[in-house]
A and B are shown apart, each in its own frame.
Chain A
Amino acid sequence: MRVGSWLGRVGRAVVARFPTEKMNVRDLVGAKEVPAHRMSWAYYLGGLAIFFFLIQVVTGLMLLFYYKPTVSDAYLSVEYLTDAVPGGALIRNLHAWASSAMIGTVFLHLLTTFGMKAFIKPREITWLSGVVLLLVTLGFGFTGYLLPWNQIAVNATKVGLQSVEELRAYLPAAVAEWPRVLRETFQGEASIGQATLSRFFALHVVVLPVIVALLLGVHLLSVQLHGMSQGVDKPTGRAERFFPFFLMKDFTVWGIAFIVLFVLALALPFDAFTAYPLLEPFNALGATPDGIKPEWYFLFMYYPLQLVPFWVVFVVMNVIVLALAFAPWLFRRTSRKMLSVLAAVAIVYIVGISIFGHQIYMLFKGHPL
């Protein structure tokens, strides 16, 4: 009986979040309005993230025509694509730049929606699917990074995965081996090799895209059903029509983003930011080169791991993820001002540690990382 009534409550809650009477073109698109206020610029970020994702899908598909996911061929196939295939260098560079653009936009989108308190009822499902989408996006970055199979790709992945094993020091003997076993299961073998490459490739190209497609469907449907959130504590009362005005502006933002991305992809090789020894093919039997570090979107975790004890970082990260997941209930009564402050602090931290992390490390430890 209790289960039944509980299920009933959950069912009613879900139905309330997905009002079927609103699922028609007129309500979803025709009559939709977007509030106009000083934070309205943030309403474009979600669409921008989708735009970058679409670019990733298209360029990713094109890369797929040439990439070979084997330990002996991966590096050469990427090189062949870049040097010999017409337009290959452009496509690859576009894929690399758009991946950073997408992850950056997704972070910003999360933080601005957090600051605008867009997660409260009835938008909890939008928010939850969004948080999972963020984690999946980071998963894309992590799995894709391994695929070129050069020194930095493999070593950064190794280091990233092995950091989980630091948990061993805090676990009782009975479960002390679990982190290692989990890591080896995820990798597919004891040390990163062909099994890992195949699994990461499958995750990156099929599993994660399918998950994204499903979640994005739920996320977008929910956004269209409930419309854009209020955004500020004191609404101005002004709004503009979604179709065609906001949508046109949305497309303009996409156009500008496309131009910037294309200029970068055409003129600035992503590889130029990595020292050349790190881009040589992975050598399992040699020494690891200097300067291995993860991509910029993991630096906010990487530098703290070098500076403070592991358990601190572990606990803080988990607290943050849980706080994000339960935000619709945890922060229900918090003012938008407070939430904006929190979001601003987070942005300052992420930008600061990504740019100055190395200097901060040197300040504390006295030698370079």
Chain B
Amino acid sequence: MSRARTLLVWGIAAVIGAALAAPAAARQEYYDYIRKTSGRPIDCAMCHVNPSGPEGHDAGQIGSLTPEQLEQLKHARAAFDPGQEVHNPTLNAFGNHILQVVGRQRFLDLRSDPARLATELGAISDLDGDGIPDSREYRDGTHPLKPRSGDPGLLLLTNLRRGSLELALILLATVLGLYGLSHLMRGIVAARPAGPPAH
């Protein structure tokens, strides 16, 4: 084998090896960023299947994956470019969505500037349908896949909008009910024989 080809083979092996053995601390910078900017306590379950992260032997962690899942993991780890279908079994839908939108390479690069990930995720995707974009939930430290987790003010606005008919009905019903009760009581009073006058 020529020297050039040996080098090439080893080079490719090294790249693949590096890709597969990606640093576990890929997430630490993101965790610290979210913790600091949002002030809310978070755990790894924001992006990962297991709240303690992908390392270990429990459900959703690498040590418990079946062979098919390990294949999926390998494919997912190779998705360096954006726009590829990613089904990493240690990531939840949001985690896979991040890699699909920005690609794994960019995700690793953005460790030095986690704030930019929010911008690059865009403001349209809202995986849990709670009216708050995923990128906003990422910055706020709320869970992008749980509809009841979100900034309370934003949730209130969204739900007021969605439930406006319901609220209008209840408002009208209460007003009408109070009107009715007041007349009922007045009617009973008026029908009473005149008793000792109230002073």
Candidates B43, B146, B167; contact of A263 at CB < 8 Å: B167
Known: A30-B195, A259-B171. A289 touches B156 (CB 8 A): no
Q: Which one, A180-188, A239-247, A319-327, A331-339, is touching chain B?
A: A239-247
Contact B148 A244 (CB under 8 A): no
Min Cβ gap B185→A in Å is: 4
Contact A276 B198 (CB under 8 A): no
For chain A, the count of residues having a C-beta within 8 Å of the partner chain is: 35
Contact B159 A251 (CB under 8 A): no
Question: Which residues of chain A from 250 to 284 have a CB within 8 Å of any chain B CB?
Answer: 251-252, 255, 258-259, 262-263, 266-269, 271-273, 275-280
In the complex, besides A248-B178, A267-B155, A268-B156, 6 extra interface pairs with C-beta distance below 8 angstroms are A244-B186, A244-B188, A267-B167, A276-B142, A277-B43, A280-B51
Contact B171 A268 (CB under 8 A): no
Per-residue CB contact flags for chain A residues 61-95 toward chain B (1 = under 8 Å, else 0) read: 00000000000000000000010000001000000
Tell me, in angstroms, the Cα distance from A278 to B151 when the chains sit together.
16
> Which chain B residue lies CB-closest to A278?
B41
Contact A273 B171 (CB under 8 A): no
Candidates B41, B142, B181; contact of A248 at CB < 8 Å: B181
Is B2 an interface position by the 8 A CB rule?
no
Candidates B43, B150, B167; contact of A272 at CB < 8 Å: B150
For chain B, the count of residues having a C-beta within 8 Å of the partner chain is: 39
Known: A259-B174, A275-B141, A280-B45. A244 touches B182 (CB 8 A): yes
Task: Point out the residues of chain A lying under 8 angstroms from B170, CB to CB.
Answer: 259, 262
Task: Point out the residues of chain B lying under 8 angstroms from A263, CB to CB.
Answer: 160, 167
**Please, could you name 28 A-B residue pairs with CB atoms under 8 Å apart, sorted by A?**
A31-B198, A82-B148, A243-B185, A244-B185, A244-B188, A247-B185, A252-B178, A255-B177, A258-B174, A259-B170, A263-B167, A266-B159, A266-B167, A267-B156, A268-B159, A271-B148, A272-B142, A275-B41, A275-B141, A275-B142, A276-B142, A277-B41, A277-B42, A277-B45, A280-B45, A280-B51, A290-B41, A291-B41
Task: Point out the residues of chain A lying under 8 angstroms from B151, CB to CB.
Answer: 272
Task: Point out the residues of chain B lying under 8 angstroms from A279, CB to CB.
Answer: 149
Per-residue CB contact flags for chain B residues 150-188 toward chain A (1 = under 8 Å, else 0) read: 111001100110010011001100110110011001101
- Chain A binding surface, main DSSP class: helix
Is A165 an interface position by the 8 A CB rule?
no
Tell me, in angstroms, the Cα distance from A89 to B188 when the chains sit together.
39
Min Cβ gap B159→A in Å is: 4
Is B189 an interface position by the 8 A CB rule?
yes
> Which chain A residue lies CB-closest to B142?
A276
Contact B167 A248 (CB under 8 A): no
Is B143 an interface position by the 8 A CB rule?
yes
Spell out A's residues near B (CB within 8 Å): 26, 30-31, 33, 82, 89, 241, 243-244, 247-248, 251-252, 255, 258-259, 262-263, 266-269, 271-273, 275-280, 286, 289-291
Task: Point out the residues of chain B lying under 8 angstroms from A251, CB to CB.
Answer: 178, 181-182
Task: Point out the residues of chain B lying under 8 angstroms from A33, CB to CB.
Answer: 198
Is B40 an interface position by the 8 A CB rule?
yes
Is B52 an interface position by the 8 A CB rule?
yes
Identify which of A82, A262, A291 gathers the most chain B CB atoms within 10 Å of its CB: A262
Contact B149 A276 (CB under 8 A): yes
Contact B163 A266 (CB under 8 A): yes
Identify which of B42, B52, B151, B188 gathers the most chain A CB atoms within 10 Å of its CB: B42
Contact B185 A289 (CB under 8 A): no
Task: Point out the residues of chain B lying under 8 angstroms from A280, CB to CB.
Answer: 45, 51
> Which chain A residue lies CB-closest to B151?
A272
Candidates A248, A277, A289; contact of B182 at CB < 8 Å: A248
Min Cβ gap A26→B in Å is: 8
Tell me, in angstroms, the Cα distance from A273 to B150 when the chains sit together.
8
Min Cβ gap A238→B in Å is: 11
> Which chain B residue lies CB-closest to A248?
B182
